[in-house]
Amino acid sequence: MIKIYFEPSALFKGYFPEEGSEVVEKVISALDGNNLCSFTSIWSLLEIARAFKKRVNLGEIDEKEGENAVIFFFTDIKKLVSEGRLVLLSIDTSLIMKSYKTLWKYNLYAADALHVTTYFENTLDYFFAVDRHFKKFEKIENLKLIDPLTEDGVAKVNELIRKAKNKTNE
């Protein structure tokens, strides 16, 4: 099974149309829970709800559209989890302490350190993110980063989906 971690910056693109959205939507559609499965921290849900509120604050969508988008997002996440296509990873004291060490060592933001540590602690295969902070971390820790805004990221997504489909046909 190919296991991908959705950092909120990438997962949000699957629910709000902007550059890179079509690539993330393609991955979400390809998730089958057997050959291609996604993971994210439970914390991601709150970060994405905040991203919708930020779009309201910026005037990109109105308050009602923002509320409806969050409701749709939470409903879809619940569906993906129930279908086995997404696993929500919990946060505990041990993960927080390990994240602190990551934060301190690499001078990352707290949420970034939490996501990276969650990825490594769960031995996942790929890390989907559109956050500039992870480029530096990839070089240090050999994080398998996929950025859906880059040509390389799009090529990696297509390759992952092809590999997952081939496993289905075996």
Report which secondary-structure segment, H or E, holds 93: helix 93-106
pTM for the whole structure:
0.92
By the 8 A CB rule, do 16 and 47 touch?
A: no
Question: For residue 168, what pLDDT is reported?
Answer: 67
CATH number at residue 106: 3.40.50.1010
Q: For the chain, what is the domain count? A: 1
Report which secondary-structure segment, H or E, holds 63: helix 63-82
pLDDT in tens, 133-162: 666 666 666 788 898 888 999 999 999 999
Low-confidence stretches of the chain (pLDDT beneath 50): none
Q: State which residues form the domain around 23.
A: 2-169
Question: For residue 135, what pLDDT is reported?
Answer: 66
CA distances from 37 to 55, 66, 109, 139 (A): 29, 28, 27, 25
Question: For residue 165, what pLDDT is reported?
Answer: 87
